[in-house]
Amino acid sequence: VVGVLFFATCGAIVGALINYYLAMWLGRPIVYRFAGSRVGRMLLLSPEKLDRANDYFVRKGAVSTFVGRLVPGIRQLISIPAGLARMPLGAFVGYTALGAGVWNAILALIGVLLSRVPGIETKEQVVAKASEYSHIIGYSILAIVLLLLTIYIVKQVQRKRRRNLITD
Q: What is the pLDDT of residues 15-72, one digit of tens each?
A: 989 988 988 888 777 877 877 788 777 767 677 777 777 777 778 778 888 887 877 7
Is residue 16 a contact partner of residue 77, using CB atoms and an 8 Å limit? no
Average per-residue pLDDT for the chain:
81
C-alpha to C-alpha distance for 141 and 106, rounded to whole angstroms: 12
C-alpha closest to that of 111 among 95, 124, 93? 124
Residue in 15, 18, 16 with CA at minimum distance from that of residue 26: 18
What pLDDT, on the 0 to 100 scale, is given for residue 93?
A: 92
Helix axes 89-115, 123-167, angle to 10 degrees: 130
Number of domains in the chain: 1
Residue ranges making up the domain that contains 14: 2-167
Residue 142 pLDDT greater than 80, yes or no = no
Confidence check: pLDDT of 155 > 80: yes
The yes-or-no verdict on residue 10 having pLDDT over 80 is yes
Residue 119 has pLDDT above 80, yes or no: no
pTM of structure: 0.62
168 pLDDT more than 70: no
